[in-house]
Amino acid sequence: MDLTKSGIKILVPKSPIKSRTAVDGFQNESPENPDPVEQAQEDSVPPEVTAEKPVGALLGPGAERARMGSRPRIHPLVPQVPGPVTAAMATGITVNGKGECAGASPFMDALTANGTANLQTSVTGVTAGKRKFIDDRRDQPFDKRLRFSVRQTESAYRYRDIVVRKQDGFTHILLSTKSSENNSLNPEVMKEVQSALSTAAADDSKLVLLSAVGSVFCCGLDFIYFIRRLTDDRKRESAKMAEAIRNFVNTFIQFKKPIIVAVNGPAIGLGASILPLCDVVWANEKAWFQTPYTTFGQSPDGCSTVMFPKIMGGASANEMLLSGRKLTAQEACGKGLVSQVFWPGTFTQEVMVRIKELASCNPVVLEESKALVRCNMKTELEQANERECEVLKKIWGSAQGMDSMLRYLQRKIDEF
């Protein structure tokens, strides 16, 4: 009996290219909306390779169509056939497209027992049809959303301490540190951020959105990491750490595309001082900002000695840099450190609406507008970054600087 004439149809699984991870609530599409790529594939399936079951199909309770990667089927795909199978019975049965060898199921045993010799020929014909379908799909325009999904998957393997999502018109970088606590910065984290920014600078992204996973935006430098290194060779390690900070800050200074920051929680130390180097800063109502450098036993960094006085005045800048005053999100907005403050319940939605509006603009206009605003500041900021890193290297290389950081950590341990 020829399967192609018997009415037996092959069930082809849907494409698995459906899942897209959502990190910290930042998700580009609504889960209720169908995937356009999958919809296009369903519409393009030729009639001879259809997934529909004929009327009166005798399917078991586990024979519902399952997506690849979903739960395994626990019921047989076809009911067990106790006796010989006639052509009339076969017309009401649908076989899964993966196929099973003769003897692997009662249905296939029955087919073999009834002298079915054209099974291989029928399956070969269906396979040829599937290959033709794939070749036809290759000739169609490539869906960019598929490329974004692949890039997002690749980022999980490329980076350990950050998450990178390439979305339509912009790159989303999220701090999600595994090598440090509370998204604090060590040389490994800083190198990954630099790498992601370099990639975004070279691709078709119009801007970069920087945010964080969890309830903390960034706790500044990872002092535990630094102290472990400084106990070996203070002079050499302090120079290496100062160089890492210099390169990290220069990456923000020299980045030509707009950088938008979504501060979802506390921003401390270097996590707060780099904000003026970005172009727009949106903050959650629960976020707060502090640069307690004297408490840490170190000097300011991130060009804060230049940018803080520029945006909030000398008195407020000194209060933050010397006495470590903590600013609420509303206070930071009033002093110019933050552009807008949003309610926590709608923070993600507000950010994504505005990001998509910016991403719809002409990329040349965005880049040239930033260049005009920053044209007289680049050299000044690079010089300030160099001075700050030299002072940090001097402090970290001294016994007094090491003692100050140890005392700070001891106080934190006692408070805990």
| Phi-psi region at 93: left, alpha or beta (left = phi > 0; alpha = psi -120 to 50) | beta
Pairing between β-strand 10-11 and β-strand 95-96 as defined by DSSP bridges: parallel
Distance CA 93, CA 55 (A): 10
Sequence-separated (6 or more) residues with CB below 8 Å from residue 400: none
Clarify whether 270 is annotated catalytic.
yes
Among the listed residues 210, 270, 321, 327, the single catalytic one is 270
Q: What is the 3-state secondary structure (H, E, C) of 223-274?
A: HHHHHHHHCCCHHHHHHHHHHHHHHHHHHHHHCCCCEEEEECCCEECHHHHC
DSSP 71-117: PPP-S-SS----SPPPHHHHTT--EETT---TTSSHHHHHHHHTT--
Contact between residue 150 and residue 158 where contact means Cβ atoms under 8 Å apart:
no
Distance CA 365, CA 371 (A): 10
Among the listed residues 221, 277, 321, 337, the single catalytic one is 221
Among the listed residues 175, 222, 301, 366, the single catalytic one is 301
* Amino acid of residue 164: V
Clarify whether 275 is annotated catalytic.
no
Token digits of residue 121: 């020929």
DSSP state of 325: -
Taking residue 217's Cβ as centre, other Cβ atoms within 10 Å add up to 28
Token digits of residue 250: 């220069």
Clarify whether 322 is annotated catalytic.
no
Sequence-separated (6 or more) residues with CB below 8 Å from residue 117: none
Annotated active-site positions, please? Answer: 221, 270, 301
